[in-house]
């Protein structure tokens, strides 16, 4: 275990594990089939302090280093539902720009209620016309007196249907990254609508397309400086990509553990499946991928904790971790055989969820290109 983990980290792990075992795991199957989970889960998570990890005490949070976030990802993943993880923790990509760049009034309005689980926050950047090409976004916000008038749409937005607050990337200036701003938009803003999306995986997560039809948003809802929003997004992306890597690592471990348990229990031709060399070798390969991913994750996280911004390594980490997940989910389903193809197995669900992590937060191909630039090529 990395030396950055302390007794406090382990106590937090025990807290999250108890919460997941009592409030999440028993209900996952029903939530997956319902394609939603109760809004009350946010409040329950807020009451035990899970939503405030890493946020200032002044807003009800608990200051914490990045290793607490890794622990949170690991333990929530044990329920085996990426949809629950993504939906419950959607504020993790929505409110950091507000905390870092927002006005005192904006922080006071949004952050405490989200941390308590009373309100839900979502990040809205991706558009129907493009995903990873953030600098080319088309949603516009023109200034009219003390309001911005927002027109356009966003898609693939996690918590898009149920969120109360949206951190939205808009174009307030010219072309390219220099014309982008961030606005906080309330869901009850006239002209705002949303429609749900059906997905391959993450069934329990609410995902939507958002529409802004001449929405009038107060200038006071500007997050940071006008036309400086791209910088806020880039800071956010570093955090998001590490979180994606932590989730990919954590779900890889869930697949491995389910495969090992099945291989011990399943008897074929009079012998446990685990006695077959080919199965043992599959499991060793999975363990090797998981171990290397964990080491890469913790080493990168430690550098970030020291104040570094190793963008190339973060991009490569995200790719490494999601490739690990794809390998482990595929092999776990293969080891489980028919049982791995039937709904109810964690590996079956995770197998359907692998691609969203390889695409979300910057597609694998974009990560390679960004890494190459920061490596000086």
What is the per-residue pLDDT for 235?
A: 81
Give the mean pLDDT of 176-195.
96
Give the mean pLDDT of 252-259.
98
Give the mean pLDDT of 223-235.
90
Residue 48 pLDDT grade (very low, low, confident, very high; cuts 50, 70, 90): very high
The answer to whether the CB of 226 falls within 8 A of the CB of 350 is no
What is the per-residue pLDDT for 115?
A: 98
Residue 134 pLDDT grade (very low, low, confident, very high; cuts 50, 70, 90): confident
Give the mean pLDDT of 205-210.
97
Could you tell me the CA-to-CA distances from 179 to 23, 167, 215, 366 in Å, in that order? 44, 16, 19, 21
Task: Give the phi and the psi of residue 147 in degrees, each rounded to 5.
Answer: -135, 155
Give the mean pLDDT of 341-363.
95
Residue 109 has pLDDT above 80, yes or no: yes
Residue 287 has pLDDT above 70, yes or no: yes
Residue 131 has pLDDT above 70, yes or no: no
| Active site positions, annotated | 240
Average per-residue pLDDT for the chain: 95
What is the per-residue pLDDT for 1?
A: 72
What is the per-residue pLDDT for 148?
A: 98
Q: In order of start, what are the domains of the chain with their CATH numbers?
A: 7-115 (1.10.540.10), 121-229 (2.40.110.10), 231-374 (1.20.140.10)
Give the mean pLDDT of 18-40.
97
Encoding tokens for residue 360?
A: 């979300």
What is the per-residue pLDDT for 264?
A: 96
Task: Give the phi and the psi of residue 74 in degrees, each rounded to 5.
Answer: -60, -45
Give the mean pLDDT of 168-194.
95
What is the per-residue pLDDT for 132?
A: 67
Residue 88 pLDDT grade (very low, low, confident, very high; cuts 50, 70, 90): very high
pTM, to two decimals: 0.94
Residue 136 pLDDT grade (very low, low, confident, very high; cuts 50, 70, 90): confident
Give the mean pLDDT of 92-101.
95
Give the mean pLDDT of 43-50.
97
Give the mean pLDDT of 94-121.
97
Residue 133 has pLDDT above 80, yes or no: no
Residue 234 pLDDT grade (very low, low, confident, very high; cuts 50, 70, 90): confident
């Amino acid at each position: 275990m990395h030396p950055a983990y302390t007794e406090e980290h382990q106590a937090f792990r025990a807290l999250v594990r108890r919460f997941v075992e009592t409030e999440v795991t028993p209900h996952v199957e029903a939530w997956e089939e319902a394609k939603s989970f109760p809004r009350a889960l946010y409040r329950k998570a807020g009451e035990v302090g899970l939503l405030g990890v890493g946020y200032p005490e002044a807003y009800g949070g608990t200051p914490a280093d990045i290793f607490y976030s890794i622990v949170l990802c690991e333990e929530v993943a044990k329920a085996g539902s990426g949809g629950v993880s993504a939906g419950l923790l959607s504020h993790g990509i929505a409110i950091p720009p507000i905390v870092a760049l927002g006005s005192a009034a904006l922080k006071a309005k949004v952050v405490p209620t989200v941390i308590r689980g009373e309100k839900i926050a979502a990040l809205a950047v991706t558009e129907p016309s493009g995903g990873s090409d953030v600098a080319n976004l088309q949603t516009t916000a023109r200034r009219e007196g003390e309001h911005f008038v927002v027109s356009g749409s966003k898609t693939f937005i996690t918590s898009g249907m149920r969120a109360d607050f949206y951190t939205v990337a808009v174009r307030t200036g010219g072309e390219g990254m220099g014309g982008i701003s961030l606005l906080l938009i309330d869901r009850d803003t006239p002209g705002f609508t949303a429609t749900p999306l059906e997905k391959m995986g993450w069934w329990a997560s609410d995902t939507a397309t958002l529409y802004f039809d001449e929405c009038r948003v107060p200038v006071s809802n500007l997050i940071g400086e006008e036309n400086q929003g791209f910088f806020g997004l880039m800071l956010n992306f570093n955090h998001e990509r590490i979180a994606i890597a932590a989730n990919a690592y954590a779900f890889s471990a869930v697949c491995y553990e389910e495969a090992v348990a099945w291989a011990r229990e399943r008897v074929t031709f009079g012998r446990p499946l685990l006695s077959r060399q080919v199965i043992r070798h599959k499991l060793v390969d999975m363990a090797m991928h998981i171990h290397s991913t964990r080491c890469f994750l913790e080493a990168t996280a430690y550098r970030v904790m020291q104040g570094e911004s190793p963008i190339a390594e973060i991009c490569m980490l995200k790719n490494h971790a999601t490739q690990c997940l794809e390998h482990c989910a595929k092999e776990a389903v293969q080891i489980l055989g028919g049982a791995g193809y039937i709904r109810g197995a964690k590996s079956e669900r995770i197998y359907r969820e692998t691609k969203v992590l390889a695409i979300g937060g910057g597609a694998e191909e974009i990560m390679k290109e960004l890494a190459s630039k920061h490596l000086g090529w």
